[in-house]
Amino acid sequence: MICVPITEDNVEDAVKTANSIDCDIVEIRLDYLEDASKIDFLAKIKKPKIATCMPKWEGGRFGGGEEERIDILLSAIDFCQYVSIELGTSEKLRGDVVKKAKEKGVKVIVSYHDFKSTPSRDEIIKILKDEETAGADIAKAAFIPESASDVRKIMSVIGDKHIWIPVIVIAMGELGRMSRARSLLMGSYLTFASSGKGKESAPGQMSVQEIRETLKWLKK
C-alpha cells in the first residue's frame, strides 16, 4: 500500500488533499494542524485513515502535554481504521490508546524513529519485537542510514522469522530514498509518499508519482 501523510495546517485543506490524492490510505498528521481538537472532520475523509499525533521528542510537531496528545488520539480512533502511537510513549498512556483501539477494531501501529543513525540489526529486531509486545498489530521503525550497508541492514529485517506481525521499515534520507519503493516489493506493510514537493513528512520521502514510477522500473 502507498500511504500519503496529510501535512496541511488546517482541517479544510487536510480534507481536500486527503480526498483528492490518489493513494491507498492516508496518514492524518494531527500534530501539523493548528487546531486538532475538533476531530470530527475526519468523518469527511473517505479513504482509510491512520491517525497520528507525533510529539516533538519523536520528530513531530505536537508541543503540548502528553495527556492532551493522547486525548486527541483517543478521539481520533472513532473515525479511523488505524492509530499510530510511539513506542517511547509512557506505558500507561500508550496502553490507553491500544485498549480503546482494540475495543473499536482499529489496528494499532507502534512506531519508533531515529533521525540520527541506524543501530545494529539485532537492535532493530528488538525494537520491532518491543512494539509487538506493546500491543502493535503493525510494527514500524524508521532510521537514518549512514551508508549503503545501513540501508541493506534496515531492509533485511523485513520478513525476519523472529517477527510475527506485519512491519513498516523505513530507511530515511537520500541514501534510503530508493528503498522506500523497494521495501514494498520486499513485503513491507506500506510505504509513505508525499502528496507533492514540499509536503514531505520525513527526509527522503518520494511523491506518490515518484513511488509509482520507481515501482514500475524495479519490476522490469
Residues with a catalytic annotation lie at: 113, 140
- Reading phi first (left if > 0) and then psi (alpha if -120 to 50, else beta), residue 197 is in beta
| C-alpha torsion sign, points 125, 80, 59, 214 | positive
Q: Can you tell me whether residue 64 is helix, strand or coil?
A: coil
The owner of cell 502493535 is 136
Terminal CA-to-CA distance of the chain, rounded, Å? 19
CB atoms within 10 A of CB 152: 13
Q: Cα separation of 87 and 169, whole Å?
A: 14
